[in-house]
Amino acid sequence: MVAARRRQQQQCRWRWGVPVLLVLYVGYVGMGAGVLQALERPAEVQAAQQLLQQHWELLANHTCLGGPGLKRLIKGIIQAYKSGITLQGNTTSLGRWDYSGSFFFSVSAITTIGYGNLSPSTVPGRIFCILFALFGIPLNLILMNEIGQLMLLGVQHCAHRLEEVFHWQKKVSFLIKACALVTGLLLFLLLPPLLFSVKEGWSYEEGFYYSFITLSTIGFGDYVIGMNPDRTYPAWYKNIISLWILFGMAWLALVIKFYINFLESSSDFCQCNKKTTEMAEDLMDSNKNSMTGLHNVESCNDKDTKTKGPDESHTYTAPTEAL
């Protein structure tokens, strides 16, 4: 009976768990869409109005320019910028597909970041990109898992050393999580924006935004390192950032795993409380049934007493004839 009840609870959980999570997911995404629309829509409208105003001012000040010719020039500039080519006076800047740029693109491909600012334009390049990502993504996942385990072992070793020195036996788990969180925040989220401020000219907020968007593999592509044609980047810059991405993604995966485990443990705790409540209710019901049974027995005894009372109170006397 207990096994049947557990099976029924699991079926109920599977029946209602997915719809509830789906409703929460859609509601969360819908809430995010509403907030982003309220925050970003006015800026989009203002930018569109400024672009249209500049377009008409350019045509008004330069009457020799025609509307179709200007549109073709704008499209050509946009396409060239997507290919990584920008105008610098009478020359153009190249460098996105040199070896360092190609190496950084390879890392962004197999880590599934996919900034979108750069992509292969030739058919052989696209075919190779598919095959490269097909075998590279599993390899990247295996490597990130090993790096994450290595980082976790390092943090555990530090925590055990602290335990030996300060004799904190009951705080090992807390130290592991605290050290991993603080060290990761410093190395992968708080300190890199300072480097980006120097090399890219970004503000600290922009660098922090780029760091999180990159390590979480969202990769919008609005901020990408090494793409400013007006700046000169050292040869080691993109290689160091590639290593930062690899280790940072492993650290962030550990943080997300801890968070998921916390949510699951909280869910299990709620389930345990629910099961404890159900067991208490079952115990109360069984006690109630037991008391009801005792009451019924007492009632039956009372009824038997009342039924048998006159017979038992009647004293048997022998007939006088027998005397």
CATH numbers and ranges of domains, the chain? 1-83 (no CATH), 95-272 (1.10.287.70)
Burial of 269 (C-beta count, 10 Å sphere; 0-12/13-18/19+): exposed
Q: Mean pLDDT: which of 28-37, 58-67, 115-124 is highest?
A: 28-37
Cβ atoms within 10 Å of 306's Cβ, excluding its own: 9
Tokens of 308: 């048998």
| Chain segment 137-160, per-residue pLDDT in tens | 999 999 988 888 888 787 777 777
- What is the pLDDT averaged over residues 18-44? 87
Integer Cα distance of 54 and 180 in angstroms: 51
Q: DSSP string covering 249-265, please?
A: HHHHHHHHHHHHHHHHH
Strand ranges (E), the chain: 86-88, 91-93
Cβ atoms within 10 Å of 264's Cβ, excluding its own: 10
Which H or E element spans position 149?
helix 123-166
Q: DSSP string covering 55-100, please?
A: HHHHHHH-TT--HHHHHHHHHHHHHHHHTT-EEETTEEE--TTSHH
Residues 6+ apart with CB under 8 A from 143: 246
Contact 194, 204 (CB under 8 A): yes
Cα dihedral sign, 96-102-107-112: positive
Share of the chain above pLDDT 70, in %: 69
Tokens of 58: 């350019």
Tokens of 86: 């920008």
Contact 247, 188 (CB under 8 A): yes
More confident residue, 75 or 308: 75
Burial of 162 (C-beta count, 10 Å sphere; 0-12/13-18/19+): middle
Q: Please state, rounded to an integer, the average pLDDT across all residues of the chain.
A: 76
Integer Cα distance of 47 and 139 in angstroms: 42
Residues 6+ apart with CB under 8 A from 169: 163
How many residues are listed for the chain in this entry?
323
Which H or E element spans position 44?
helix 2-61
Tokens of 62: 């330069």
Residue 171 has pLDDT above 70, yes or no: no
Tokens of 109: 């491909």
- What is the pLDDT averaged over residues 165-175? 67
Q: How confident is the model at residue 303 (pLDDT cuts 50, 70, 90)?
A: very low
Integer Cα distance of 167 and 280 in angstroms: 40
**Predicted TM-score of the model (pTM):** 0.69
Residue 231 backbone class (left: φ over 0; alpha: ψ -120 to 50; beta: rest): beta
More confident residue, 258 or 207: 207
| Chain segment 212-223, per-residue pLDDT in tens | 999 999 999 899
Integer Cα distance of 282 and 89 in angstroms: 84
Cβ atoms within 10 Å of 77's Cβ, excluding its own: 13
Provide Rg for the chain, Cα atoms: 37
Integer Cα distance of 97 and 75 in angstroms: 22
